[in-house]
A and B are shown apart, each in its own frame.
Chain A
Amino acid sequence: MIEVLIFATLNGLVTGLLLFMLASGLTLIFSMMGVLNFAHASFYMLGAYFAYSISLYTGFWPALIIAPILVGLVGALVERYGLRRVHKSGHVAELIFTFGLAFLIEEAVQFFWGRSTMNYRSPDILNFPLFTLFGQNFPAYKAFMIFISVSIFIGLYYVLTRTRIGIIIQAAITHPNTVANLGHNVPFIFMAVFGAGSGLAGLAGVIAGPVLTTFPGMAVVLGSIVFVIVVIGGLGSLGGALVASLLIGLLQSYAIASNLGMPDLLNLLGVSFASDHPLNDIWRLTLPQIAPILPFLLLVLVLIFRPSGLFGKRES
């Protein structure tokens, strides 16, 4: 039992930190521009596909650098020539634009790379078990993923709180007009932040692609979860995003690892139902079965009882 608990924690940590890399960019973009970017996970997918194609020529390590930069550039272009244009039509139009963009990117990926799963692999140098515990390997690559995500968090925190750029960005979030009056190019800052956020998502894709498989559905699988995290953590809150990411990652991991379910609960209560009971599907539910929908349940509950999220300061 103890090994299940340890590995569940490690897995939850890996997933949670990966989710954070996506959520951090999304929440930054949201707090600055007020746009909930539906296409954010699509940039994550682009990162994985770009890295796959680049790694065919250069190997993994150059791809780790080049792919996120390319994704960031794509993001910046999207902001400059798409989002900025739509901005005039209001927030709903922006949201719908990113929604359409997510749809378009998925189709474009299928157009260029096909619909099959890509054979995108982690580098050989990290292809060894870091340690073996109770007969199960913990791959070194996962430790590498944790390392990258933690570095990103520290780096981001440092940039936002300790550097001049970070202070301008923070100011632009709350007082865009004042910042503009001080002579800063606010549209350019917007573009840069959008590009940087997309690049972060791309980086997440680069390191997640080999583990979570690179296929055209990978954005959809993650897309709504990232949304959930940003909303639960509180829109615009970086710390909230971190807490919510880890919460969701661990919650899902523990739920899958557990063997609990309605039958146990019913046993505890001493209730039993005939196997042809109309609600039999409910009485047979197990926690692992519903693990992937737990985040959505959490989302609805948070929104009903605390619409500003766990750490959020404002509602929308």
Chain B
Amino acid sequence: MTILTSAFHRLRAAISAIILCAVGISCTAEAQEPIKIAFIDPQSGTFAATGESGYMVLDFAADYFFNDKGGILGGRKFEIIALDNKNSAADSQIQLRRAISEGIQVVFSGNGSAVASALSTAIDRHNRRNPDSQVLFINYAAVDPILTGADCNFWHFRFDAHSDMKMEVMTDHIARNPAIDKVYIIGQDYSFGKAVGDAAISMLAAKRPDIQIVGNELHPIGQVKDFTPYITKIVSSGANAVITGNWGADMVALGRGIMDAGLNVPIYTFYAAYDGITATLGEAAKGQIRLVHNDHANPILSDVRRDFTRAYKAKNPHKDVTQPRLVNALMMLAAAMEKAGSTQPYDVALAMEDLRITTMSGEEIWMRADDHQVFQSLNVSVHTNENIEFDSDNSGFGLLTEFVVPMEETITANNSCRMTRPQQ
């Protein structure tokens, strides 16, 4: 049935093109060419779950918001091509070259700051060395501040809040809770884990000097079999809140270890939902996990978002709308292309600077021109099964918004980005 429908769509588009052509309007061969987007993220291996979910959301959103409504720029449709980077910096470059060979001008990527940073550098270099085949880099998830800081470049646009911005929100929330006076920080032993720890310490010191940091621990990433020894230390430190940047299996294991030990303190974190994590944490973690992110999963803010989520769940009953900022990025990209009247990366990049759009949740987001960082409202959500309209992993549990910081208040000065805009 779907094949028929899409064939019908294609036929209709072709006929309308012929008619337009006959009348003499917009008769370029290009008009029907799809706008190809390379989605370079892990599609195989241990990290594939995240990449797979991301691709499905992006692909669905492209059809739902644009292609089914006739496309953009007078009938051009988005085509999302998933390219597997195996979560590796080198494979990302191989896939980038493949994308360029196929004439793709937009790259979406984001899982892992190491990969994103390698890709950002590679794209900047490629565009400098090959001005006739430039590429735009839409980073939808990598949160290392350096990407819009010292390492910023003209071709890179970030649609997630970076880790320092998220930490501001997290520490604001902690600061408002007088019951918290001892905080334990534990993270994976790499730049992100360290950045989270350092930011937490300095921000808490400024906001609540009375809070004591009772532990700041780094553990090797992905190698810890059993978190119990770490949890013993957390318990004996007397902490009444835990901050962690852990993700993936390390997050699950840490979370469950804390629950098993009977330690009932809030766990502040960034990545502790979806792709099996919510279901695994389940009842034990109820009301204990506090997640800082930019989504309003529950309560849902607009009917557009509600309809989108329902339509997505109808097509993929076992999946969730895990990263709605992918949709934000696609919407802003489309708006910038319409504004520029072209898909040339240079024109689109200029058009995207200082652009404001309204997301499907009905909120405004803004792309700052100075460093290509997007600003959006951020919130702290809690893992619970009460008042949940859209749960995750079909587990009955989901994320409920508890504390919102509006977009204007998330804006912080950035002095480290020295962006050079290429001359065309």
Contacts and interface: CB of A to CB of B under 8 A. Distances in A.
A217 B235 contact: no
B178 interface: no
A136 B280 contact: no
B319 to A, nearest CB: 11
Interface in B142-193: 189
B230 A115 contact: no
Contacts of B230: 256, 288
A98 interface: no
A215 interface: yes
A289 B189 contact: yes
B232 interface: yes
Interface string A52-79: 0000000000000000000000000000
Nearest to B277: A117
Nearest to A129: B262
Given A15-B225, A212-B225, A115 B249 contact: no
A249 to B, nearest CB: 9
Nearest to A6: B232
Contacts of A116: 49, 275-277, 393
Interface bin, chain B:
35 or more
B280 A213 contact: yes
B349 interface: no
B253 A212 contact: yes
A257 B48 CA distance: 33
B225 A4 contact: no
Given A117-B252, A119-B282, A288-B217, A216 B46 contact: yes
Interface in B218-258: 218-220, 222-226, 228-230, 232-233, 235-236, 249, 252-253, 256
A289 B220 contact: yes
Nearest to B262: A137
A118 B49 CA distance: 13
A115 B223 CA distance: 17
B405 interface: no
B46 A4 contact: no
A241 B349 CA distance: 61
B279 interface: yes
Most-contacted residue by chain A among B52, B225, B256 (CB, 10 A): B225
B302 to A, nearest CB: 29
B260 to A, nearest CB: 5
Nearest to A106: B46
A216 B395 CA distance: 21
Contacts of B219: 256, 288-289, 292
A211 B254 CA distance: 11
Interface in A73-126: 110, 114-119
A119 B276 contact: yes
A200 interface: no
A222 B220 contact: no
Contacts of A264: none
A15 B232 contact: no
Interface bin, chain A:
35 or more
Contacts of B261: 136-137, 139
A213 B228 contact: no
Contacts of A198: none
B72 to A, nearest CB: 34
A217 B229 contact: no
Contact of B220 (A11, A117, A225, A292): A292
A26 B192 CA distance: 37
Interface in A1-16: 3-4, 7-8, 11-12, 14-15
A114 B253 contact: no
Nearest to B234: A136
Nearest to B51: A115
Interface in B256-297: 256, 260-263, 275-277, 279-280, 282
B262 A136 contact: yes
Contacts of B235: 134-136
B226 A217 contact: no
B262 A217 contact: no
A222 B249 contact: no
A309 to B, nearest CB: 22
Interface in A206-236: 211-213, 215-217, 221-222, 225
Given A7-B229, A12-B229, A221-B225, 16 more contacts: A7-B236, A8-B229, A11-B229, A11-B232, A14-B228, A115-B49, A115-B52, A116-B275, A116-B393, A118-B280, A119-B282, A137-B262, A213-B249, A213-B253, A221-B223, A292-B219
Q: Closest 7 CB pairs between A and B?
A: A116-B276, A137-B262, A256-B229, A7-B232, A136-B235, A117-B276, A115-B49
